[in-house]
Amino acid sequence: MHFASSSSGLLFIVSAPSGVGKSTLIRSVLAECPNLKFSVSCTTRPPRPEEINGRDYVFIEKEEFLRGIDSGRFLEWAEVHGNYYGTDSRPIEEWLSAGQDVLLDIDVQGARMVRCAFPGAVTIFVLPPSFQELEERLKNRATESPEQLAVRFEAARRELFDAPWYDYVIINDDLKEAVADLAAVLRAGRCARIPQAPVLKKFLATVVGARA
């Protein structure tokens, strides 16, 4: 007999201001953790040249997004930098009830909504080594117009003040270290008392029932 798995999957939420390197970090961690499901969000933002529909985002029109809001399609959604972003409920519910862990890459507004629906969610905020470095990374990525950059820097200034409300804070200075930190948080999350409760209960039942 073994007690390796708990009944429901865990929900991990990663947030960071644009340009911190969150997508880069998540891509590396997903490559190391094949059992972790990544939630591909819907967005009305136009795709960047290297982005693939269905892999990076599901790119949809605003009308479809608004219909999705009305029909209760999204677990959470938010308007970020002038575009809509949302998490489809259905795959998340299916994965979690099948015992699979899920990672959401969502902004601070979305994280607040998910925390209410899933108080057991493990929340992780990624910081840049400095605000100046965040600006450099976003400029050097060269995916945003000067107007869009200004919008994102302004949003970053606000979003950073949500960091103290997260369970874990990771600094993405050296990428390898940040990847190791995020992998460690995922592991610690799985070993926490509450997700391990079903395993512990089964184990202790065998101890109570065992003869001396």
Q: Which residues bind ligand ADP (CB under 6 A)?
A: 16, 18-24, 137, 140-141, 172, 175
Using CB under 6 A, which of the segments 79-87, 132-140, 161-169, 181-189 binds ligand 5GP?
79-87
Distance CA(211)–CA(190), nearest Å, equals 31
Residue 147 class from Cβ within 10 Å (0-12 exposed, 13-18 middle, 19+ buried)? Answer: exposed
Instruction: Confirm or reject binding of residue 86 to ligand 5GP (CB under 6 A).
Output: yes
Write the DSSP assignment of 147-167 as a string of letters: HHHHHHHHHHHHHGGGGGGSS
Using CB under 6 A, which of the segments 5-13, 103-111, 117-125, 172-180 binds ligand 5GP?
103-111
At 188 the three-state DSSP class reads helix
Residue with tokens 């899920």: 102
Smallest distance from the beta carbon of 198 to ligand ADP, in angstroms?
A: 35
Q: Taking a C-beta distance cutoff of 8 angstroms, is the pair 18, 158 a contact? A: no
Q: Choose the one of ligand ADP, ligand 5GP, none that binds residue 73, judging by a C-beta under 5 to 8 angstroms depending on kind.
A: none
Cβ proximity to ligand 5GP, 76 vs 101, nearer residue: 76
Q: Choose the one of ligand 5GP, ligand ADP, none that binds residue 76, judging by a C-beta under 5 to 8 angstroms depending on kind.
A: ligand 5GP
Question: CA geometry: angle at 26 spanning 20 and 31, to 5°?
Answer: 145
CB atoms within 10 A of CB 196: 14
Instruction: Confirm or reject binding of residue 149 to ligand 5GP (CB under 6 A).
Output: no
Using CB under 6 A, which of the segments 81-89, 95-103, 132-140, 161-169 binds ligand 5GP?
81-89
Instruction: Confirm or reject binding of residue 80 to ligand 5GP (CB under 6 A).
Output: yes
Residue whose CB is nearest to ligand 5GP in the complex, by number: 110
Q: Taking a C-beta distance cutoff of 8 angstroms, is the pair 91, 81 a contact? A: no
Enclosing H/E stretch for 126: strand 122-127
Cβ proximity to ligand 5GP, 45 vs 139, nearer residue: 45
Instruction: Confirm or reject binding of residue 85 to ligand 5GP (CB under 6 A).
Output: yes
Q: Choose the one of ligand 5GP, ligand ADP, none that binds residue 141, judging by a C-beta under 5 to 8 angstroms depending on kind.
A: ligand ADP
Q: Choose the one of ligand 5GP, ligand ADP, none that binds residue 123, judging by a C-beta under 5 to 8 angstroms depending on kind.
A: none
Taking Cα atoms as reference points, which of 165, 167, 175, 161 lies closest to residue 131?
A: 161
